[in-house]
Amino acid sequence: MTEPTFATLVSRWYEENARDLPWREPGVGAWAILVSEVMLQQTPVVRVLPAWQAWLARWPDPAALAADTPAEAIRMWGRLGYPRRAVRLQDCAVAIVERHGGEVPDKLDQLLALPGVGTYTARAVAAFAYGQRHPVVDTNVRRVVSRAVAGEPDAGPATRPVDLVACEELLPVEPAAAVLASAAFMELGAVVCTARSPRCPVCPVGSVCAWRASGQQAPAGPTRRPQRYAGTDRQVRGLLLGVLRETTGPVPHQRLDQVWQDDVQRARALAGLVTDGLVEPVGEASFRLVGDGPAIQPVGP
């Protein structure tokens, strides 16, 4: 009798243990899946759930978001973090309307050409929305494959072409089975084969895991040092955006000056928001969320 493959073992486990998440429900469209994948980048599921539901209630399809302003996208993004994702999603919606008639494309090259859609997100949408066989490789998947196949405790900080190859070699040939396996690999890394506290005794591939067989321990510290938040430019940027989100239209510079005492750091954070396309100046003494009002008229003779 043939032994079950790695993908089969993980897929069986997934079918019995997968978390009940709304973007995994049958019939969820490609736009909803695209939004979930963008929101889930560097953000826990528990924070994404209410934001995802509110976003789709307001903008159920790309055309709805494309017709709105980047400022409203930033407002709806709230405190999910990394708010440039909101602007990229709005840019993406505009591109989907202009290039694809308002429908999220199903071809990988077209997905990759959308603003803000990278290697992981494009393959995730192609797989989970359209049932295509692609290696869907995020941090969790890389860790699972690195440990179980290569016997290494950690896969490193960034996805490499070799990671896509290693994952694709584990996928079943049949597309539906490959999609199931891709979701299963991600789930295993998220809830069992975690970075610091792996639950090896309940792992469905523990008996064939090269890392477990080697007896190696999980790294004592994180692969990447956690980013400090308190007192950083990120905190100041968040405070500035908080004021701008709560106000429609221009906010006087004097109001923004109140959010942080360090003039140099505050000015640097505000300049960074402008550079990132989140905030724009209005005249010489005010700022607003990008696109939050009539177009700015050029100054000149």
Instruction: Give me the catalytic one of 15, 37, 98, 284.
Output: 37
| Residue 287 phi, psi (nearest 5) | -140, 155
37 is known as an active-site residue: yes
CB 88 within 8 A of CB 38: yes
Query: Rounded distance, CA 213 to CA 209, Å?
Result: 6
CB 124 within 8 A of CB 112: no
Would you name the residues annotated as active-site residues?
37
